[in-house]
Copies of this chain bind each other. A is one copy, B any other.
Amino acid sequence: MALIVQKYGGSSVADADRIKKVARRIAWSRDRGDQVVVVVSAMGDTTNDLIEMAYRINKHPGDRELDVLLSTGEIVSSTLLAMALKALGYEAISLSGAQAGIRTDANYSGARIERVESKRVVRELNKGNIVIVAGFQGVTDDMDITTLGRGGSDTTAVALAASLDAEVCQICTDVDGVYTADPRLVPKARKLTEIGYEEMLELASYGARVLHPRAVELGELFNLPILVTSSFTQSSGTLIHGGVSMEVRNKVRSVAYDLDVAKITVVGVPDRPGIAVSILKPLAKAGISVDTIVQNASVDKITDLTFTVAKSQLAKAMRLVEPIAKSISARDCVSDSKLGKVSIIGTGMLNTPGYAVRMFSALSEKGINIQLITTSEIRITCIIDESRVEDAVGVLHETFQLEVAEEEREVSP
């Protein structure tokens, strides 16, 4: 008898019929003899409706009150799911985040889990109950309700699974797994049976739509296997785990992209220590997240510093950077807001330089101009014109034969 944790998102429990369907799926797991803990999000649009109601009453509703208000959404869905399981003849009990021992800091609307006191959950499991836990919420040591912010229910599920030493945390969602590229962009994209934590994190916005990076990081920290699978089909899903098998190492696993990229270049900067800091520190202070940073090789002690930010933050960033550029005697400061990012991802790829060459050639053959290149241990990223991102994802998927199962590919690179 194993202990498994399953998480169902808001669209999986959007109405009474879906709640009944989810109950049948949980019952099926229970019938296999497993102990089951379920984490559930609020039904459909509940959270947005509650936020709207709050703002109708107060334009600055206050994080503490808003958190208490929003926490009711998951309480409603957890009780209804428990009722649905009982209607099928199963023993079930709903627990709020507080009752399930999800203890957080007091950082309302974006609280971090400090620890999980799972005594009550264990007691209910031992009584033979399926335990339904309201996701996205926790409680401070003062017994004040908090919410965990984006990716909250994913995080609740992985944290509970880790603290209960569960065999696996199943993320049941409206996609049936992680693909070699966003299936909306690449119809030939193939579902991966497994992927490493780091690779999953590198999938960026596409990956985050499947599973929030926070939950992936927590899974990695506790080396807890996470299965991404469909709520309603019997598909096998994708297992995210740490021990990626030998034979899939040194292979391109997937192609990721991001359309939310703007670039700022400070041109003609005197190349002396501390220049990058003087430009980037004010941005960090203003809460602007800088992604790729590239400093070109210095010629005659003059260099260019280029970095990317989210498009929505470009204007604010430029207002901060322009006076700094002037004060450090840079020649100019230019921006481009029509960019995108395309990456190939695979563990250990960097040790095999052939991949980068193949990537650049493939893009070049398609007439796609590369503006910036950055790499990590398991990723090679090119910043290109936003209008060519879709083409780029397609050609890279084809180049690296991602539609073909790994063991059947031609030897690569």
Contact = CB atoms under 8 A, between A and B. Distances in A.
A62 B93 CA distance: 10
Contacts of A143: 98-99, 120
A203 interface: no
Given A16-B57, A19-B57, A79 B66 contact: yes
B84 A57 contact: yes
Given A65-B79, A79-B66, A82-B65, A87 B58 contact: yes
B75 A68 contact: yes
Given A72-B76, A75-B72, A76-B72, A65 B53 contact: no
* Cβ-closest 10 pairs across A and B: A72-B72, A58-B87, A58-B83, A69-B79, A61-B83, A65-B79, A16-B56, A68-B79, A57-B83, A65-B82
Contacts of A72: 72, 75-76
Given A93-B64, A99-B143, A143-B99, A57 B75 contact: no
A156 interface: no
Contacts of A93: 64-65
Nearest to A84: B57
Contacts of A59: 87
Contacts of A251: none
Nearest to A68: B79
Interface in A39-62: 50, 53-54, 56-62
Main SS class of interface, A: helix
A20 interface: yes
Contacts of A20: 57
A249 interface: no
A15 to B, nearest CB: 9
Contacts of A115: none
A74 to B, nearest CB: 10
B76 A69 contact: yes
A65 B84 contact: no
A98 B144 CA distance: 11
A314 interface: no
Contacts of A96: 68, 145
A86 B60 CA distance: 9
B83 A62 contact: yes
Nearest to A82: B65
A381 interface: no
A6 interface: no
A401 B168 CA distance: 78
A99 B140 CA distance: 12
Interface in A70-118: 71-72, 75-76, 78-80, 82-84, 86-87, 93-94, 96, 98-99
A85 to B, nearest CB: 9
Contacts of A75: 68-69, 71-72
